[in-house]
Amino acid sequence: MDKIIINGGVPLRGTVEVGGMKNAALPIIYACVLIEDKCIIENIPNVRDVSLSLDILRDMGASVKTINKSTVEIDCTGVRQGTSKVEQVQKIRASYYLLGSELGRFGKAHVAYPGGCDFGGRPIDQHIKGFETLGGVVNTESGHVDVTTENGPVGANIFFDVVTVGATINVMLAAVLAEGTTVIDNAAREPHIVDLANFLNTCGAKITGAGTDVIKIKGVNKLHGCTYAIIPDMIEAGTFMVAAAATGGCVKITNVIPKHLESVSVKLEEAGATVDEFDDAVVVTGRSIVRKTNLKTHPYPGFPTDMQPQMAVLLCLANGVSYVSEGVYEKRFRYVEELIKMGATIKVDGRTAVIEGGKELSGAPVIAVDLRAGVAMVIAGLVAQGTTEISDIHLIERGYDDVVGKLRSLGAEIKRVSAPDPEESELIKKAN
């Protein structure tokens, strides 16, 4: 049961470089199933969701070689359709991209239902709608999703009922080798959708419009390997920006695309911080006074839902009442109970949290309830008076590479400790 322990109250100062974007790396890794050739993926983040996804491809017969800390070579020539392991697939959500890539390459797909953070209902009805519109027959029994077609997907026009990153990606993967042209309307516009399209086009695909709400995919016969570098992680960058503002420090965050962070920068400036933008960096300077402000999460280019818990911590310090509305998921406030243990005054009413600021947070033992909630607790520990102990930190490590080391380099009093698992220590006692 490893933990993160933080002595709060230290303003962060210095420079930190963010890694490649987890949510761009994952679809690109699964997109390699479409390609019977070698792909070299650079700037890949060293996080648990990525290493698990590479293992899932290995289980299916792919060759995956580590070239260096942030570069892998993936060759899916030998991948066997429908052979992903249930117990692995169920650990994360992104494994459902195997549906689109298996369907695209083999004309059929067989994948267990995915896992992922608990934000209330996370249906896949739009994914299914997309596969059916491409001519697929979908069966969702016995905990699996099966898609079959007569002779592979056939291009068609798809209009999504809701803006969905996952379904936009899955339909792109299913359509890229289809017979004919596919048009996705009401598509998600996230930077990682653009990154996936750029990767596939580098491999010979014909995709236009990624980044807008209309994406056109002209089916091609075959894709070839390539070398491709993943875009920087805007959520990791945003997390460090909020940490700088919350601790009243001054931090330069490098390897970023400022355009991707616009909504976060605007919100931080509303809250009283200063954000200076450079070509591939931002400098965030916090102030002693945090101003109250309101936010509502939306699909890109709106304020990202994956930055909602982090901003809520900052607003706990604000001089007044702030309203945080979750516009993407049914519920994403499970972390509030943990912040209340640290002295926060927050009331959750459906999809809105009412945050009464102006109170100091005090260190306490808390848990990471999911990936972004966990890193929000790290920010809370950085600003709290006293010591904060965070457990279940494996959830944080799903999406953050060495967050402890990076924060230490900025002056934080933070460490990662390996506490023996209670059952383990019981066994050790019995054995001695």
Give contact residues for ligand EPZ (rule: CB under 6 A). Answer: 23, 26, 93-94, 117, 121-127, 162, 164-167, 188, 305-306, 328-329, 371-372, 399
CB of 209 to ligand EPZ, least distance (A): 18
Q: Residue 167 is encoded by which pair of tokens?
A: 């379904």
Of 126 and 247, nearer to ligand EPZ (C-beta) is: 126
3-state SS, residue 381: helix
Of 27 and 104, nearer to ligand EPZ (C-beta) is: 27
Residue of 284, 278, 295, 303 lying closest to 245 (CA atoms): 284
Q: Is 117 a catalytic residue?
A: yes
| Identity of residue 7 | N
Q: Give the residue at shortest CB distance from ligand EPZ.
A: 166
Q: How many other C-beta atoms lie within 10 A of the C-beta of residue 226?
A: 17
CB of 131 to ligand EPZ, least distance (A): 11
Residue of 163, 166, 82 lying closest to 131 (CA atoms): 166
CB of 285 to ligand EPZ, least distance (A): 27
360: left (phi over 0), alpha (psi -120 to 50) or beta: beta
Residue of 116, 168, 140 lying closest to 329 (CA atoms): 116
Residue of 211, 233, 187, 189 lying closest to 23 (CA atoms): 233
d(CA 253, CA 14): 9
Query: Among residues 39, 76, 117, 250, which one is catalytic?
Result: 117
CB of 161 to ligand EPZ, least distance (A): 7
* 332 touches 305 (CB < 8 A): yes
Of 35 and 234, nearer to ligand EPZ (C-beta) is: 234
CB of 121 to ligand EPZ, least distance (A): 6
Q: Residue 5: in which H helix or E strand, if any?
A: strand 2-7
* Cβ neighbours of residue 87 closer than 8 Å, sequence gap 6 or more: none
* 158 touches 184 (CB < 8 A): yes
Looking at the annotation, which residues are catalytic? 117
